[in-house]
Amino acid sequence: MASLIGKYSPLNGMFLTILLLTPFPSHSADPDLLQDFCVADLSGSIALNGFPCKPASNVTSEDFFFDGFVQEGDTNNTFGSLPTQGNVLAFPGLNTMGISMNRVDFAPGGLNPPHSHPRATESGVVIQGKLLVGFVTTGNVFHSKILGPGQMFVIPRGLVHFQINVGDQKALIFTAFNSQLPGTVIVPLNLFASTPAVPDYVLSKAFQVGSEVIDEIKSKFAA
């Protein structure tokens, strides 16, 4: 018996290694829903897969419809753009569904600044105007293209990306995410307008500039 174990243990070891490294179906994607819906009770604490469900007896047809994208966003701000979020916090009917959308309006020259979504891949389609869409890979490669109405793009999960209106008219895009709450890390705000502030000496060394430059940038984002 010992000789048999010795003879086949490398094969057994390889099998166990493959088994451990291969993701099981239930761990490689969102689990299937266990009910038709789970409209979020936003007064409850968020858990692993979303908010607790509103009692089915309290659910109405209005829970499955969202009119937050009807109105044009106010782009009179620092960046000249405004994302209107349609995630679970705004649209509780998305709870546990693993999807959400944004509307993003741009003034001429408006920028949706470099940002990332830590919990979702993003796809989008241009509805109006002309936009330069770009992202940077973890290999520091920049991919970009100017898009017009009807053209679509995809941004891999977690990568820093942006959209900027390169036309002379307003622009509009709708974006979709494979998460009910994708999260947004806005690079300039995270670095220069965090609470508490990132130390100047860290930013000075990171960007290889003097502290006076860092202070000037921070002043642009002061409340």
Percent of the chain surpassing pLDDT 70: 84
Residues 183, 83 within the same domain:
yes
pLDDT at 7: 52
Q: 71 and 127 share a domain?
A: yes
pLDDT tens for 72-94 read 999 999 999 999 999 999 999 99
Same domain (yes/no): 135, 198: no
1-50: per-residue pLDDT in tens? Answer: 444 444 545 555 554 454 445 444 444 445 567 789 999 999 887 777 78
Flag whether 41 is in a domain: no
Residue 200 belongs to a domain:
yes
Is 212 part of any domain? yes
Question: 87 with 197, same domain?
Answer: no
What strands, in cross-sheet order, belong to the sheet with 185-186? 142-147, 131-136, 161-165, 111-116, 185-186
Same domain, 112 and 63: yes
Q: Does some domain include residue 27? A: no
Answer whether 51's CB lies under 8 Å from 41's CB: yes
C-beta of residue 115 within 8 angstroms of C-beta of residue 160: yes
User: Does 205 lie in the same domain as 158?
Assistant: no
The structural domain count of the chain equals: 2
Residue 153 and residue 210 in one domain: no
Q: How far is CA 116 from CA 83, 113, 157, 215, 222, in A?
A: 13, 10, 8, 24, 22
* Residue 178 sits in the same domain as residue 97: yes
Q: Is the dihedral of CA 69, 71, 75, 77 positive or negative?
A: negative
CATH code of residue 144: 2.60.120.10
Q: Are residues 186 and 197 in the same domain?
A: no
Residues 199 and 155 occupy one common structural domain: no
| Structural domain contains residue 5 | no
Torsion of CA 39, 42, 47, 50, to 10 degrees: 40
Mean pLDDT of the chain: 89
Does one domain contain both 164 and 68? yes
d(CA 124, CA 177): 9
Do 102 and 207 share a structural domain? no
Contact 105, 77 (CB under 8 A): no
- Are 176 and 101 contacting, i.e. CB atoms less than 8 angstroms apart? yes
DSSP code at position 40: B
pLDDT digits (tens, 9 = 90+) for 145-168: 999 999 999 999 999 999 999 999
Could you tell me if residue 129 is inside a domain? yes
- Asked if the structure places residue 153 within a domain, the reply is yes
Domain span holding position 172: 56-190
Task: Report if residue 88 sits inside a domain.
Answer: yes
Mean pLDDT of 180-193: 96
